[in-house]
Amino acid sequence: MEPENRTIIVFYSKHHRNTQLLVDAIKKREPAVALMNISEISPYYLSDFDRIGIASGIYYSRFAKPLMKYLEVHLPENKKVFAMFTCGQMNSGYTKGVKALAEKRNCEYLGEYGCLGFDTFGPFKLMGGISKGHPSITEITGAVDFYRSLGK
């Protein structure tokens, strides 16, 4: 029997807490998963974990700058990495920076999950936001299913 991977999800979720809805749902279903909000002081060291999830809302087509700056310093080498995101509009290029950083640190990239999230960032605020009602229950469940598909 293979030992269970110790998993932490490092996340940044600020404006509408869309991404936090995803990681909280995973934590509820999988209590052994540690969550690290980089906007708060944390007792965790990423080197203590086998698998590292990187989760963020999308800001100007990228993962949040504070999250990526943190990971540029603290992401250990040779870990298993996966990405999760919420966004106002879907685009296949959002995880490019996460993948590049994982490759730079010789990490195994396990995959990604993205879904819509209510967005009032920048110009979208002027029109009342986009993707209202997201992430939906189905999208939140999809995040949990994605995490579970990674195996133990």
Kindly report the pTM of this predicted structure.
Answer: 0.90
CB 38 within 8 A of CB 11: yes
CB 91 within 8 A of CB 130: no
Max alpha carbon distance in the chain (Å)?
A: 55
Residue 63 belongs to some domain of the structure: yes
Model pLDDT for residues 65-82, shown as the tens digit of each residue: 999 999 999 999 999 999
Residue 106 belongs to some domain of the structure: yes
Residue 21 belongs to some domain of the structure: yes
Number of neighbouring beta carbons within 10 Å of residue 115: 23
Radius of gyration of the chain (CA): 15
- The CATH number of residue 92's host domain is 3.40.50.360
Residue 82 belongs to some domain of the structure: yes
Mean pLDDT of 108-112: 97
* Residues 37/42/111/107 CA torsion (nearest 10 deg): 140
Report the domain count for the chain: 1
Q: Check pLDDT > 70 for residue 144.
A: yes
Model pLDDT for residues 25-58, shown as the tens digit of each residue: 999 999 999 999 999 988 899 999 999 999 999 9
Residue 11 belongs to some domain of the structure: no
Residue 2 belongs to some domain of the structure: no
Residue 6 belongs to some domain of the structure: no
Residue 114 belongs to some domain of the structure: yes
User: What is the domain range of residue 78?
Assistant: 16-149
3-state secondary structure of 57: strand
